[in-house]
Structure 1
Amino acid sequence: MGISSPGIGSGLDIQGIVAKLVALEKQPLQQLQVKASGLNAKLSAFGQLKSQIANLQDQAAKLASGSNWETMAVTSSNAGAVVGTATSAAAPTSFSMEVGQLARAQSAGSGVFGTGTAPGTGTLKIQLGTWAKGGFTSEDDGTAEFTPGSGSEVSIDITAADDTLAKVAAKINAAGAGVNATVLRDASGERLLVRSSATGEASGFRIQALDDDGNNSDAAGLSRLAFDPQNASNGLSLTLAARDTLATINGVQVKSSNTTFADAIDGVTLTVGQVTTAPVEVNVKRDTAGARNNITAFVDSYNALNNALAEMTKYNPADKSAGTLQGDSTAVGLQSALRQLVGGMGAPGGEFGRLSDLGVQFQADGTLKVDATKLDAAMAKPDALKAFFSADEAGTAADGMAVRIKAFATGMLGVDGMFATKTQSLQGAVKRNASDQERVVERASRREEQLLAQYSRLDANLGKLSALSTYVNQQITMWNKKSDN
């Protein structure tokens, strides 16, 4: 059984003595903790560098991609009326475009029904197609004619006597017939509004009614929801006729079922937004703005990485402070390799030899700076820029600069690359450090137990000696008194 309060017998500060001796035993722990902090700081630093290398890889990949140098841009003198996009299949060109009318969907509405009224029972047959004549086109020269489209006719059964106008609209919407139905309410009652789901002449609709009252074209029962002017069935009244977008390109008429012309010009998609009162000039040319942005984004990414490396590897002799990776051969080697890559030559034989030829120059602190005027002049030669950055000769010295930088970054980020190797090494050191700390703590704990046991025995022995001394002194005192008597 251990002594709960060592020192009672002897008066010695056993706890204080043991604590100081154990503290001496734990001195290596402080050094190990400082080392662990440094290792974790290095792990964090390399994690930050890895992220920035990945970003540099992404930016280099954009410059290394040949397709990014072949993108085309579309500009318009009236972006409210005409805008466009272009793929690399488009050829540089310019043309004039005028918009005469915009595509729209067919719309029709019923007469007024009392609120909550059931319009009748039977079957509504809805089909999409094209209307002609009878007010549906500019050639209003006779009875309307409907030409069914390729889609199938959709039948909608209205069989419940209490199917209100709202329920009919819901059934139409659920049928997927290519039209949308809405109930409009005002002070006079309810109306059924039907509209094509898509715009364009071919998205017109016909609604035929098979009315359970036996008459499919009168003004009673389900016939009131029919729309078939070709067969004199006009329960719904036309509010808007379906039509295509009509435009001219260099005076040649073109049309579209919506507001987009996807194949009028190879590689170019045009979208119109309003009818024009004057020709709109449209130009298709190389997208130098996108390529220029890619170059400046690469410079920004490199500078961020360069600054991080400079901060991590610096040493300040004035206050003798050092960066997290000061003296780390891996970080110093990475810094040197990047500067050699970026400061090196592009693809041989090209019009541009180095980044400085494009207006991207090294500064004293190792960062890159863009000379906007010189870069703008270089952008006028997109094919030469493409060769400088993206020439790909299967890993040879003839590769473009961006291709080489991308390959370098890919290797460093790979499963066997520098970052993986360095991270594994540091993690191993952290693990060993943690084990060393545990051993120091365990050794100090065992030492504390030993010291407490030793001093407890000493305390007990001293206590016994003290008791014996007291007893002897008492006996001597008694003997002395007897002698005096």
Structure 2
Amino acid sequence: MAGITGIGSGMDIKGMVDAIVAAERAPKEGQLANLEKKTTTQLTSLGQLKSAISNFQSALSTLNSPSSFLARSAASSDTKVMTASASQSAQAGSYKIDVQQLASSSKVALAAINGEAKLNTGTLNIKVGDSALPGITIDSSNNTLAGIRDAINEAGKSDGVSATIITDDHGSRLVLSSSKAGEGNDITVAVDEVGVEEGRVSLSELAYRGPTSKPVLDDFTEEDEPEAAYAAALAAYEKGGQTLATAQSAKLTVDGLSVTRDSNSISDVVAGLSFDLKSAGSSTLTVTKDEAGVEANVKKFVEAYNTLMTFINTETNVTPVNDTSKPVVGALVGDASVRTLVNTIRSELVSPQGEGAIRALADMGITTKKDGTLEMDSDKVKKAVSTDFEGVAAYFTGDSGLTSRLSDKLKPYTDGGGILESRTDSLQATIDKVDKQKEDLDTRMKALEERLYKQYNAMDSLVAQLMSTSDSLTQLFDSMPGFVTQKK
């Protein structure tokens, strides 16, 4: 850094300076590296510990929720007929459901006309039962089947009415569909024709007041030509508007009681139960307590606890390797806060509670192993939930239940400003100090390097001057008369 060096002395000044700086840096640099590594490892372990505690708290919260033990399940004996769901308010029991018919909505095809023809202008008034859509204006901008279809779709989108065009053997038809099910909610179309022009199709062709009877030949026996009259009437019937689907209500019985609804999704018949009707037929609906859900939540509790304890065991263990190698030491060995956490949790797990048959985890088949983790006997847990559902609920839930007590003990560790956050802040402060000491070390080593270069360069310059003086004296002596130098 100080220019060309070693000219006078021939010494490797750069190599010497680098060696001295490296020797001076090494002890402090190694100390800082070890401290940083240890602190970073502890910081990472505390973050993982906090995550494991949070997962355990989530499992506790789920298990302590009233919905975990108040939940009900509803099963249909024939899901092709109906499915059902139950809320917490549903009472356990069974219901015989007979579905006579499903609710359906109206669908009509208006009279067939030439699909390319223009129609007269006016207004279409569409009703679904007693509900009327806004009047649809037909003018020169939309007086085709396609234009009318688009106008109906725009006007009917908020009322569940849509239109499409289907071309059959008799011509093109507007087919109107409604999403409103229930008896009496059939589609009708009234027409107010105001602009009549020659060569255009009458807008009245699109009027539809409901289904008409198909002509029967016997009705034309008094005509002069009954076959011809019948054929003309049949052709007019087939070309005219037709009902494709009639709106109807769902009809069923619940334990013999008649029920009529305008939807296949029914939630106001049996308190806490919702039905989805699929087809006509019979099904038995059984409502039970959600024992399987409770078992699953208990299993999640055990798994979350074991995950937490396994992590703590790993991070607080000292594992011997061999006689010549140092043991593997966990990042949280000797951490008093972790030791206190473990003791607190275990104390709550072994504390008996209540006066019933379920007073401890062992009473339902959950025992503690040598390493501190829990072992769950699924059959015993299932039996406990099945035979003493309320007892299991009382053990886990409520202000004095196990989950509530454990949650209270864990809060000081995970809350903002709590034990783990304070420990984390302290470790982060240590890392910040290490970074600052690294910067200070770099500054000191740079100053040392500059000082050494100055000293060695000054020495090199002095050596160069001395050698120059020596050379001058030698030349002077060589030039003196009678002065003889002896050279080997």
Report the 3-state secondary structure (helix = DSSP H, G, I; strand = E; otherwise coil) of the residue aligned with 1:108: strand
Aligned match for 1:209, one of 167, 177, 191: 191
| Closer, same or farther: CA 47–203 of 1 in aligned 2, 3 Å | farther
CA contact 1:120–1:161 (8 Å) conserved in 2: no
CA distance 1:208–1:452, change in 2 (3 Å): same
Q: Which residue of 2 aligns with 1:164?
A: 144
1:174 and 1:335 map into 2 onto residues whose CA distance is 66
Equivalent residue, structure 1, for 2:234 = none
Equivalent position of 1:142 in the other structure:
none
Aligned pairs for 1:37-116 within 5 A:
37-116=37-116
1:284 aligns with 2:287: yes
* 2:256 maps to 1:256: no
Which of 339, 347, 363 aligns to 2:369? It is 363
Kindly name which structure, 1 or 2, has the bigger radius of gyration based on alpha carbons.
Answer: 2
**Structure 1 residue 162 displacement after superposition:** 4.8
What letter matches 1:209 in structure 2? Answer: V
Is 1:241–2:236 an aligned residue pair? no
Deviation (angstroms), 1:65: 1.9
Q: Deviations over 1:126-159 (max 9, x none)?
A: 2222xxxxxxxxxxxxxxxxxx2xx454211111
Equivalence for 1:341: 348
- Structural RMSD (CA): 2.5
Query: In 2 relative to 1, CA 111–285 (structure 1 residues): closer, same or farther, beyond 3 Å?
Result: same
Which of 165, 172, 181 is residue 163 of structure 2 equivalent to? 181
**How far apart are residue 213 of structure 1 and its match?**
5.1
1:124 corresponding residue in structure 2? 124
**Partner in structure 1 of residue 272 of structure 2:** 267
Alignment CA distance shift 1:479-1:335 (3 Å): farther
Given the superposition, is the C-alpha separation of residues 161 and 224 from structure 1 closer, same or farther in structure 2, using an over 3 Å criterion? farther
Question: Percent same amino acid among aligned pairs?
Answer: 27
SS at match of 2:103: coil
Deviation (angstroms), 1:483: 5.3
Contact 1:62 1:68 in 2 (8 A): yes
Partner of 2:416: 415
Quick one: structure 1 residues 84 and 478, their matched pair in 2 at CA, closer, same or farther if it must change by over 3 Å?
same
Decide whether the 8 Å contact of 2:110 with 2:208 is kept in 1: no
Identify which of 294, 298, 303 aligns with 1:295.
Answer: 298
Compared with structure 1, are the counterparts of its residues 3 and 281 closer, same or farther at alpha carbon in structure 2 (3 Å cutoff)?
closer
- Asked whether the 8 Å contact 1:119–1:222 carries over to 2, the reply is yes
How many angstroms apart in 2 are the aligned matches of 1:197 and 1:68?
37
Contact 2:93–2:287 (8 Å) recurs in 1: yes
SS in 1 for 2:465: helix
Retained in 1: the 8 A contact 2:98–2:253? yes
1:306 aligns with 2:276: no
Structure 1 segment 184-195 matched on structure 2, within 5 A: 184-185=166-167, 190-195=172-177
Using a 3 Å threshold, how does the CA distance of structure 1 residues 466 and 190 change in structure 2: closer, same or farther?
farther
Shift of 1:202: 4.8
Seen in structure 2, the aligned counterparts of structure 1 residues 117 and 23 have a Cα distance that, compared at 3 Å, is farther
1:282 and 1:245 mapped to 2: Cα distance? 18
Quote the Cα distance in structure 2 between the aligned partners of 1:411 and 1:206. Answer: 69
Partner amino acid for 2:252?
A
Task: Tell me which amino acid in the other structure corresponds to 1:223.
Answer: S
Structure-2 residue corresponding to 1:221: 202
Q: Distance in 1 between matches of 2:369 and 2:118?
A: 82
Cα deviations across residues 212-259 of structure 1 (Å, max 9, x unaligned)?
Answer: 2579xxx94222222223999x96321100111211111222122121
Normalised by the length of structure 2, the TM-score is: 0.86
Q: Assess if the C-alpha contact under 8 Å between 1:179 and 1:195 holds in 2.
A: yes
CA displacement 1:296-316 (0-9 Å, x = unmatched): 011111111111111111111
C-alpha separation in 2, matches of 1:312 and 1:205: 73
Give the aligned residue type for 2:150: A
Alpha-carbon offset, residue 111 of structure 1: 3.4
1:78 CA drift (Å): 1.0
CA separation of 1:9 and 1:236: change in aligned 2, threshold 3 A: farther
**Structure 2 CA distance, aligned partners of 1:464 and 1:50?**
70
Letter in 1 for 2:178: S
- On the 8 A contact 1:29/1:441 being kept in 2, the answer is no
* SS of corresponding position for 2:413: helix
**How many Å separate the matches in 2 of 1:84 and 1:122?**
48
Runs of 5+ unmatched residues, structure 1: 130-147, 393-398
- Partner secondary structure for residue 356 of structure 1: helix
